[in-house]
Amino acid sequence: MAHGKETPRQKMIGMMYLVLTALLALNVSTSVLDAFSIIDEGLNKTAKTIENKSEEIYKDFDKQFAINEAKVSSWRNMALEVKQEADKLYKHIQDLKVEVVIEAKDEEAIEGDNILRHKIEATTDYDTPKRVMIGSEYREDCKASVLKGMIADYRSFLLNMVKEDNVQLRGSITNSLNTDDPKALDVKGKSKEKLRWEEHKFGHSPLVGFLAIMSSLQIDIKNAESEVIKYLYAQIEAGAVKFNEIEAVVVHNSNYIIKGNEYQAQVFLAARDTTQPPKVWVAYGDQPYATERDEMGNIKYKRKEGLDYQSLPVDRGGKAVFRIKGTSMGYRKWGGIIEIQGPGGDPIRRPFTETFQVAEGNVVVSPTKMNLFYLGVDNPVDISVAGVAPDKVYASMTNGTITRSRGSWIVRPRRPGNSFVIVSAEIDGTRREVDRKEFRVKTVPTPQAMVNNQTGGAINKNVLLAQYGVAAVMENFEFDLTFTVTEFKVLTIVQGFVRDASATSNRFTEKQKSIIRGLSKGSPLYIQDIKAVGPDGSVRPLQTINFRIN
């Protein structure tokens, strides 16, 4: 305010202006502190959730690599490069956050690399974030520009990992890691000065707003990492064998055959490697294999002495076929050992056992929707026994109930796991068990939260306003099952301030639409705290939808 000699009145007015500015700053502090802290805390939780999901994928890479190094190594190495670049950029942003907090004289809020938001006192400090990130005037080597360049390099690095024909993933990476300068807008006929990306991000935010912006950038980095490593993992050949999860599978034409007909069964690995055909030995008996423990205490399987084993030929598909005539009525138990060479050269063996019955007819138990049962829904099942009238066929099950329904059957399981459907039939006046089938029982998958059939990314404001609200969509699910969104929150940041509004249904409220109308291009919009209720009354929390207005 030193611009020449001032009168006492001018000095008094200048002092009052400074006091008013300070009071306004205090008022801003009380209005944004809690809101920005809550946003930053939620963003950090989201980042941790994404990081946990990515860690599971990296573990899957390690398992596949231990099984078949030659097949997996290139994809795993690419995934590890993605992790390295993502961690480096994530840490760089975290270091900038810590640096700004220290520059704001809030050292007590720093604990290692973590920032304790509740200990930050300079919450409305507008100067420090801009001073650290940009400086008193913009320079091409300022920290904001360096960060922009690192994000652009990371974006290019990820795009080089993805094939050109995967338009959806490439578009998602480009939009989430966009570093373009925001477009200048006309406001009431007056041209608004075009801002650089650096100034748009860091030129007008208080300290707590700066932390929320930086956390949002960290989420974009982790989310892009998660999408790309998921894509890389899918590139591994689907037939790769997980040796630590090998399970012998027996698929027969029927385990209940008519006298004089042929019993046939295929024996193969559930997860096979076409470069390694298995060896299969079968024999009759209650337990047609032996066990022993190695020096580490692990159970090893081998052929049992005294049994007459038959070696089955294996076709090009890795399947062995066991055939035998049903010459006499009754149950027959058989099984054996299936073997494949392990990564270290030692054989990996798995046992299998099966039972078939030679009788007067055969039975079919098949779900009409899929090969498993779901909790909370009616699972239709067709059951029939050849040569037996439908009213003479009976069924029961473990882990649930099964009832007749209009010529078919309805299964309602009780809990996740496995379930056996036991079929009996009245033959010659006597009811006898003719078959039992094992099925998996799963919970109904959680639906995807969508607006305009999108789970996030770029969206036109007018398109968004044309939507009725938030939908819970069951993707790739065979049952006609509907989840209904019961509540959600719309939240955005406008000029460093948080605006949010909640709905207690699946429709946008007028207040939420008003928030959307006020958004400009490039503005973020978060639809979070989404909850949906299923037909069984269970309430599921759904993932946050992160939009950016284009």
CATH number of 448-549: 2.60.40
The closest alpha carbon to 169, from 220, 227, 221, 222, belongs to: 227
Q: Where are the domains of the chain?
A: 14-234, 242-359, 361-443, 448-549
CATH number of 361-443: 2.60.40.1080
DSSP string spanning 525-546? EEEEEEEEE-TTS-EEEEPPEE
Q: State the maximum Cα–Cα separation within the chain, in Å, rounded to a whole number.
A: 120
The residues, ordered by sequence, that sit 6+ positions from 462 with a Cβ below 8 Å of its Cβ are none
Strand partners, 400: 413
Token pair belonging to 421: 């459907």
The closest alpha carbon to 484, from 437, 527, 442, 531, belongs to: 531
At position 207, the amino acid (one-letter code) is L
Report pLDDT digits (tens) over 302-345: 999 889 899 999 887 778 888 887 777 777 889 999 988 765 56
Q: How far apart (Å, rounded) are the C-alpha atoms in residues 507 and 461? A: 16
CATH number of 242-359: 2.60.40.10
Q: How far apart (Å, rounded) are the C-alpha atoms in residues 58 and 225? A: 11
Residue 511, pLDDT > 90, answer yes
Strand partners, 471: 450
- Under DSSP, the state recorded for 259 is T
In three state form, how does the secondary structure of 195-250 look?
CCHHHHHHCCCCHHHHHHHHHHHHHHHHHHHHHHHHHHHHCCCCCCCCHHHCCEEE
Question: Which long-range contacts link 112-118 to residues 24+ away (Cβ below 8 Å)?
Answer: 115/211, 117/37, 117/40, 117/41, 117/208, 117/211, 118/37
The per-residue pLDDT for 164 is: 87
Stated pTM of the model: 0.41
The overall average pLDDT reported for the chain is 81
Report pLDDT digits (tens) over 108-160: 878 888 888 778 887 778 888 888 888 888 888 898 899 999 999 999 999 99
Task: Kindly give the pairing relationship between strand 347-359 and strand 256-258.
Answer: parallel
In three state form, how does the secondary structure of 319-358 look?
CEEEEEECCCCEEEEEEEEEEEECCCCCEEEEEEEEEEEE
The closest alpha carbon to 352, from 339, 366, 362, 340, belongs to: 339
The per-residue pLDDT for 367 is: 61
At position 331, the amino acid (one-letter code) is Y
Better pLDDT: 311 or 275: 311
Strand partners, 426: 431
Q: How far apart (Å, rounded) are the C-alpha atoms in residues 169 and 227? A: 8
Q: Give yes or no on whether 242-359 and 361-443 have one common fold.
A: yes
CB contact burial 334-354 (16+ within 10 A = b; e otherwise): bbbbbbbbbeeeeebbbbbeb
Report pLDDT digits (tens) over 44-67: 778 788 888 889 999 999 988 888
What percentage of the chain carries pLDDT values higher than 70?
81
Q: How far apart (Å, rounded) are the C-alpha atoms in residues 450 and 469? A: 9
Do the beta carbons of residue 93 and residue 85 sit within 8 Å? no
Most confident of 112-116, 247-251, 335-339, 376-380: 335-339
Report pLDDT digits (tens) over 385-429: 877 888 889 999 999 999 998 888 999 999 999 999 999 988 777
Report pLDDT digits (tens) over 203-222: 878 888 888 888 889 989 99
Token pair belonging to 98: 């810590």
